[in-house]
Amino acid sequence: MVSVGWQNDLSDHHGFRQTQTAITSYFLLHNGPLFKYETPVLGPPWSIPFEFPYYQWIVARLAQTTGLSLETAGRLTSEIFFFLTLMVFWGLLSKARVARSHRFLFLALILTSPIYVFWSRTFMIESLALFFGVFYLFSVVCYLKSPRVSNVVLAILMGVVGSTSKVTTFASFFIISGLLLLTNLLKGHHSPAPYRRGLFPLLILIVPLAATVLWTEFTDTVKEMHPIGKHLTSTALSKWNFGTFEQKVNWETWKEFLYRSDLLIGNWWNLGFILLGLALAPKRLAEFLLCAIGFFAPLLIFTNLHYVHDYYAYANGIFLVVIGFWVVEGLLCARGIKGIIGALIFVSIAGFSVRTYRNVYFPSQKRAQNAEVVSIGEAIENKTKPDHAVIVFGLDWTSELHYYSKRRGVAWPTWIPEPEVNQELFWKLINDLGQEKIGALALCGDFKVKPFYLKLADAFQFAPVTKFENSMCSIFLKREEAHQKS
């Protein structure tokens, strides 16, 4: 299932997010800055950093070292971190004294879970962020079993990398680790040395948290210097990230989350079987409840992000799969009729997962390419110079056209007023770019027929190139070039 569509473009599903990650890797590959890394789709200055670019940097270096295409290097990196995550989870299950044969059942449930099959082969940071979150939790468990300094250092290191790679993914693992450390402290299961009783757990929790705060403050400072990026600071995006109280208590929100459990365990009816199995064999009740917290906490905290983007379940969905596993494992250990029920629940989760993957993700995965967006991007690349910028209207601030054309530029966002009524900002961006550096103008959707933007093309001395027009966008080049290219 992983191998399907390996050579396809990045616009199979959520191309907006995949190409945003890929264009950063592209400019890192071409010696762009690391800390103020470029995502050059909102005009100069080109930096609007969010997460620390561990993944993007690794992909760029892998492509540079091996000669692989950037897309292949990105997919390979994602898959490697996914399988590394499974190895760490194997260690976690070993620490939880799960029988070796039963651990394979967990791996089977993850390897058939639709979200993990599809998103683990995309050009996104999800698997890397998940790996460091799981490794952080594993390090905390190692510390609880053996409170050595080496385990403390490992936990802190994994926590810093995990929290700065993607804090929304790290949240579940941070909360669970905090609960484990607190429970251990309250039970008195600790070394008698005072500095180990309180200082070590505090460092394990505080240092990653401090790293997140410092990195967020840095990124906000960089974004504030950008005329559009200032709308993307942590404060400006607070409502977008966390949602509203009304959204958090709205039944429609949770009904959507309920239906999306299909993407994790195959069919939301399996939730009923899982609860039935827990009632029959509550052997792993404590682990079940802890994983339930890990699954639901991000939904309660980052409600809107999870509601808008189905791939966000990659971060916390693993806990729902583990919940199913704990029930199956408990039933199998009980043997007899309960063991048979456990086997049936396992088959139901794995079987429906494969079915859901085939119906939901496989059609996107096997599609050859998104011909319209790729062809426009390639046309722009062929008809402009490498230092030219591309102005795009009508596609929000997606990086797709800029990535496929390998050009910087401006993709006008839908969340700020259009240039027609926001001309001061628009002309500032144009002046910062330098009008002579604008190599192409793409009008997409309704913008293809709006008089203001057609006049704008004329003001830039651009002419349409009908040869490269499709149902999605019209391309305008400078008049002399348009004449030659046509």
Q: What is the DSSP string of 341-387?
A: HHHHHHHHHHHHHHHHHHHHTHHHHH----HHHHHHHHHHHHHS-TT
* Shared domain check, 79 and 41: yes
pLDDT at 194: 59
Q: What is the pLDDT of residue 254?
A: 96
Would residue 402 count as lying in a domain? Answer: yes
Q: Which of 314, 333, 364 is the last residue of a domain?
A: 364
Same domain for 20 and 52: yes
The pLDDT of residue 192: 53
Do 293 and 159 fall into the same domain?
yes
* Amino acid letter, residue 391: I
Tell which residue, 308, 360, 361, has the closest CA to residue 121.
361
- Work out how many domains the chain is built from and give that number: 2
Query: Bridge-partner residues for 477, per DSSP?
Result: 440, 463
At 193 the pLDDT is: 62
Last residue of a domain, one of 297, 331, 364: 364
The answer to whether residues 390 and 310 belong to one domain is no
Cα-only R_g, the chain:
25
Residues 354 and 376 in one domain: no
pLDDT of residue 191: 54
2 domain residue, yes or no: no
Q: Domain check: are 450 and 332 in the same one?
A: no
* pLDDT for the residue numbered 442: 92
Cα separation values, 395 from 80, 260, 377, 411, 448, Å: 32, 27, 13, 7, 12
Q: Are residues 136 and 173 part of one domain?
A: yes
Q: Which of 340, 364, 388 is the last residue of a domain?
A: 364
Q: Tell me, what's the pLDDT at 369? A: 66
For the whole model, what pTM was predicted? 0.94
In a domain, 451, yes or no: yes
pLDDT (tens, 9 = 90+) of the chain, 486 residues, equals 888 888 889 988 888 999 999 999 999 999 999 999 999 999 999 999 999 999 999 999 999 999 999 999 999 999 999 999 999 999 999 999 999 999 999 999 999 999 999 999 999 999 999 999 999 999 999 999 998 999 999 999 999 999 999 999 999 999 999 999 999 888 875 555 656 677 899 999 999 999 999 999 999 999 999 999 999 999 999 999 999 999 999 999 999 999 999 999 999 999 999 999 999 999 899 999 999 999 999 999 999 999 999 999 999 999 999 999 999 999 999 989 999 999 999 999 999 999 999 999 999 888 766 778 888 898 899 889 999 999 999 999 999 999 999 999 999 999 999 988 888 999 999 898 887 789 999 999 899 888 998 888 888 888 888 667 777 888 898 776 655 554
Residue 76 counted as domain residue: yes
What is the model's pLDDT at position 372? Answer: 80
Q: Has residue 11 been placed in a domain?
A: no
Same domain, 302 and 406: no
Residue 351 and residue 422 share a domain: no
Q: List the domain range (segments joined by +) for residue 345.
A: 16-364
With respect to residue 33, please indicate whether it lies within any of the assigned structural domains.
Answer: yes
Does residue 5 fall inside a structural domain?
no
Same domain flag for 280 and 394: no
Domain-embedded: residue 291:
yes
Same-domain pairing of 437 and 360: no
Residues 359 and 375 in one domain: no
